[in-house]
Amino acid sequence: MTPKYLWPALLLIILAGCAREHPPLLVADQKASVQLVKYACGLGCDAATYVIKTSLNELFTPLHLDTDYQIHQFSIKIRFTRTGKFNTSFTGPPYELIEIVDISR
């Protein structure tokens, strides 16, 4: 391939890869724990929220967590979908947002 055709071919490959919407990743049942973490919510402002810490030491922010499970260091079994989205500045800790599919003690 000559240099004349190299750049259009590269551009086509990049655009084809970016155009696809990736489906959410469903994570199978895992042992995890609920953790209360503090984060900055602005100048001179501190806030706290509950996050999920998996057995692989990964941290995630659940979009919705039932009040029955909002206990610091509470052991759970969880199945969730990864959204690929993260909190923006001052709206929560910088962990990936997840949608809980199933949760139990």
Distance CA 85, CA 75 (A): 25
17 within some domain = no
Q: How many domains is the chain built from? A: 1
4 within some domain = no
Read off the CATH number of the domain in which 42 is found.
Answer: 2.40.50
5 within some domain = no
Full domain range(s) for residue 40: 24-104
**Tens-of-pLDDT digits for all 105 residues of the chain?**
556 767 777 666 666 665 555 656 888 788 999 999 988 777 777 889 999 999 999 999 999 999 999 999 999 999 999 999 998 777 888 899 999 999 999
What is the pTM (predicted TM-score) of this model? 0.73
